[in-house]
Amino acid sequence: MSRHRQFVMLLMLLLLALVAAKSKISAVQEDIIDYKDFKKLLRTKNNVLALYVSSAKEAAAELKVFRETAEAIRGTGTMLYVDCSNQERKKLCKKLKVTPTPYTLRHYKDGDYHKDYDRQLSVNSMITFMRDPAGDLPWEEDPAGADVLHFSDAAAFSKHLRKDIRPMLVMFHVPWCGFCKRMKPDYSKAATELKAQGGYLLAAMNVERQENAPVRKLFNLTGFPTLIYFENGKMRMTYEGENTKDALVAFMLNPNVKPTPKPKEPDWSADTNSEIVHLTTQGFEPALKDEKSVLVMFYAPWCGHCKRMKPEYEKAALEMKHNNVPGMLAALDATKEPTIGEKYKVKGYPSIKYFSYGVYKFDVNVREASKIVEFMRDPKEPPPPPPPEKSWEEEDDSSEVHFLNDKTFSSTLKRKKHALVMFYAPWCGHCKHTKPEFTAAANALQDDPRVAFVAVDCTKHAALCAKYNVRGYPTLIYFSYLKTQLEYNGGRTSKDFIAYMNNPPSSKDHSEL
């Protein structure tokens, strides 16, 4: 081999090593030097967590957690690292009035400063925060709920059931559930009281998290909160009692006693102080036929969204009365009056429909009191919604990307020597940018039977994505005959994908996931 050729090969190896080294840290953005670059970043990224340090040495522990989080939330948010001891970045820190001692964490949302990071300095806490920066403090981080055992994922839950046979009540909840939020204080107090007595355990699991989708499916959880009682590591019954501290404690001390049933919620239509006109099948047409402007809320008593809207609807009716706003606000329980619901094609709750002189005109999407009153002052048909976006699979019939699901994933990848899988969500902006590049690469290598470019929609196949620990979008993973499994951290252009698949890694060169 000639010296020139040896030199070229050595140079290529050095370049590959540099690219590999860069890809390992690419999850954290470290190239922001001046204020202009910083503002540009905020204009292009709407979810940024910035770590400012007085020096890398003094904040080594925090930086380690930060980097691990960045890898986990890739595609969900942007992690920015600024070393204020660096000569080039001192001006930026001064301009931003940041004086880290030894570190400061700030979050920026939609182009502006949002808040200082105020959660635990752990990977799980940061991941939760970046997934929903405006959300409430996670229950597991609330000191008031310290005596509740919080299961982070299905694996931890299963492991506990195998090892701990104590009587246990598990509250399966989701962050957006109003009933869950109202119950948490009582549940936490009951956990503390039972812990003092010994031998009993109250636990909780947030099943909104993607990694907990298998648990949600296993117990067929459709309403929240759902409380399930376990004995000797096995499910025994669903708790149907009141959501109070005393009722929870009494149940755990003697689960064989039938709990006092939850009090029945009062019928909305029975409220004599309400300004809302409550309709029935017989009275529907007579009540509306002489009214020029009527908004009708079709609801179901059990519907959480309806319950949240009811006080806003009542407030709007009072405001209309006091300010002489013309029109009438009415409501109809579609579970009691299904004929009217079917006639006006009510498919979900609440459905808000506008009528004039008894004739249905159009649907309205207003749920806050101010918006309802604003609409009734000047009722206008809203513009038609844009046509639904085609799914990636439907966009281009000529695409060589394989769209797989739980049933086809393993059987397809077992036959492919080289497969690059993109786990994505349709709403994800980074996924939308990557899609055409991924498709172009798949089309370019379509003649190689050993190679496959695969896409998995995680909003449809949550269990499959959870199996491969997908925590952000897009997540790209390389497979070889389904045995070798390596995370892809390279660039996201078609050229990057093609180069990677033309010279794929081996398990010897990379650590497996």
Q: Residue 85 has which token pair? A: 């001891």
Find the catalytic residue in 84, 93, 180, 306.
Answer: 306
Q: Residue 5 has which token pair? A: 């050729």
Which residue(s) pair with 296 in the sheet? 330, 353
Q: Burial, 378: exposed, middle or buried (Cβ in 10 Å; 0-12, 13-18, 19+)?
A: exposed
CB contact set of 140 (below 8 Å; sequence gap of 6+) = 148, 150, 152, 204
CB contact set of 453 (below 8 Å; sequence gap of 6+) = 400, 401, 402, 419, 420, 422, 438, 439, 441, 442, 445, 497, 501
Q: Residue 274 has which token pair? A: 């309400």
Give first-to-last CA distance, the chain, whole Å.
Answer: 37
Closest to 473 (Cα-Cα) out of 420, 419, 421, 430: 430
Q: Residue 225 has which token pair? A: 């909160």
The answer to whether residues 458 and 423 touch, using CB atoms and an 8 Å cutoff, is yes
The answer to whether residues 420 and 473 touch, using CB atoms and an 8 Å cutoff, is no
CA 422/CA 492 separation, integer angstroms: 11
Whether omega before 225 lies within 30 degrees of 0, making that bond cis, reads yes
CA 257/CA 152 separation, integer angstroms: 31
C-alpha gyration radius of the chain: 28
CA 367/CA 352 separation, integer angstroms: 9
CA 243/CA 251 separation, integer angstroms: 11
By residue count, the chain amounts to 513
Instruction: Respond yes or no: is residue 306 known to be catalytic.
Output: yes
Q: At 149, is the secondary structure helix, strand, or coil? A: strand
Instruction: Respond yes or no: is residue 303 known to be catalytic.
Output: yes
The phi and psi torsions of 414 (rounded to 5 degrees) equal: -65, -20
CB contact set of 479 (below 8 Å; sequence gap of 6+) = 413, 416, 419, 420, 421, 485
Find the catalytic residue in 93, 428, 458, 465.
Answer: 428
Alpha-helix residue ranges (DSSP H) falling in 292-445: 304-322, 338-343, 369-377, 392-395, 409-413, 429-444
CA 2/CA 470 separation, integer angstroms: 47
Alpha-helix residue ranges (DSSP H) falling in 146-276: 154-163, 178-197, 213-218, 245-253
Q: Provide the annotated active-site residues.
A: 303, 306, 428, 431
